[in-house]
Structure 1
């Protein structure tokens, strides 16, 4: 009996004390990596924020699972895809709601935002300048406003959140990817014309740990 008690006393504290080693790797920009950095910061994780330059990327790229960044390394195993990482961190920090339907609502609204960024990004990467200008003109008139109005309405209905009327991992995607959205979407003052975007961003960056992180990076 005494041996069993001692065994339990030994194993349990050791299990509780073991901490995962986390390394998050991405370029030294916000891009698709900032949402993950924000989530890790919110979760109070001790993680290595590994930032590399475009010149260093070719050397690092073969080490990644899919030849893409960002990646997160947990106890020596590397995982990819920014949304998969964000969703994982959302589950880990209980930012996913209470039911599978809650999770579905977050996913569908995040996917709507990503659809917009990808559509704009496709035009942004168009190499022909004249065609790029024409595509942007058409999309700014007939495509982008519908996405922006829908998202603005969703954010407004949810009190400055992407879903469920409260903080979820999807809010960190909005806040973290907003600079990327503005880069590929040449519509000045998006946050003024669609103010609910700014409300989501403010809700995230008003969190004390996120505020401290942001100020430290200035």
Structure 2
């Protein structure tokens, strides 16, 4: 009989880097993530995301978060996928880290995105999470380039990217909230610029995900 991991291999991903874990976002972990989002991600006067999803009312934010991840599971294919993992610290969900890619078997690139619950920010955890995730992508899932972006008024996110080795590319002028112009700094990371740090990264469950994203070993 098939298991849930057989049906959706990302559920079986497990990355360990010191006290940090990245796990496939099962429904149990997704429920914890929804509760975390409701507790707050950023100051109400700030907006770190392209789409201001985090401003939804209490209750609706949880439903929106769950629906988004359920939808991405249902449409997952090598030509268009979002691989999202739960971030855990000492067994507790503290955020999410993911990557979106299109035509991956050809392009071998994708754009990372992440968030941590507000109480876990400013402690160096974002850098540790990004390093572990990029090690997974480069060493186990066949990525040859990783991109990211952050608004120029989001120094915390830009600082994480700089520490991990991302290099700046172009700046885009985009609409953020209604009527608001924001400058968005593009970033790119390659294996040659990747700053790994000194924490070993252990990965299980990657082989099945490689096949799921269209890599033929």
TM-score by length of 1: 0.27
TM-score by length of 2: 0.27
Bigger fraction of residues in helix: 1
Is the radius of gyration larger for structure 1 or structure 2? 1
Bigger fraction of residues in strand: 2
